Amino acid sequence: MKIQDPEFRERLIAALADEPEFEQEARWFDGSILLQVGAEPLWLKVYRGKVIDTLEFTPVFGYTFKVSGSPQAWAMLGSGERTFTDLASAGSRYLGSIEEIEAAGGGYKPPELAIEGNGVEAGRMHLATMYLCRAFAATAVESGAVEAGVAA
């Protein structure tokens, strides 16, 4: 199953309905969020804490903000191997050797889940985005849209 499949979108909306924190944190939001796994987009229209529409492409009017990452990053979030904060923050706490630190420019790594677009709205929606991304990633792992256990 892919994240663009109608069945996946229904599962995601059901998972968010079971996440009262998402609704509470997004209750004053009226905008759109693009979630992207690799090159595969899923556009969500959120109004007052509920996803009221989805599209398997980015519409011409765009999105309020976007969260994108590799299938491996989403799989790590969905399996619980890493947290949203770990993946959305620059740097790394998971270096296996000194060589990795040197190869990564002194330990700096860009975020594995990149957030871009309207920074004010993305910042205001930080907790809601965390709940959304956790539900999205868990649904993606459960449905096989991303493979859990794949090394980053």
Residue-wise pLDDT tens digits, 77-86: 999 999 999 9
What phi and psi, each to the nearest 5 degrees, are found at residue 67?
-120, 120
Asked whether residue 32 is domain-assigned, the answer is yes
Mean pLDDT of the chain: 90
Which of 142, 134, 11 shows the shortest CA–CA distance to 73? 134
Asked whether residue 147 is domain-assigned, the answer is no
DSSP 8-state assignment for residue 91: S
Q: How far apart are CA 80 and CA 57, in angstroms?
A: 27
Look up residue 109 and give its amino acid: K
Asked whether residue 115 is domain-assigned, the answer is yes
Asked whether residue 150 is domain-assigned, the answer is no
> Which of the four pLDDT bands, split at 50, 70 and 90, describes residue 152?
very low
> How many structural domains are present in the chain?
1
Residue-wise pLDDT tens digits, 136-149: 999 999 999 998 75
Asked whether residue 148 is domain-assigned, the answer is no
Q: Which residues constitute the domain of residue 67?
A: 6-141
Asked whether residue 1 is domain-assigned, the answer is no
Residues of the chain by 3-state class (helix, strand, coil), percent to 5? 40, 20, 40
Specify the CATH number for the domain of residue 74. Answer: 3.30.1050.10
Residue-wise pLDDT tens digits, 13-62: 999 999 999 999 999 999 999 999 999 999 999 999 999 999 999 999 99
Q: How far apart are CA 22 and CA 17, in angstroms?
A: 8
Asked whether residue 52 is domain-assigned, the answer is yes
Q: What is the pLDDT of residue 151?
A: 42
Helices and strands, counts by H and E, the chain: 7, 5
Residue 62 tokens read as 């765009």
User: DSSP 3-state assignment of 82?
Assistant: coil
Q: Are 4 and 43 in contact (CB under 8 A)?
A: no
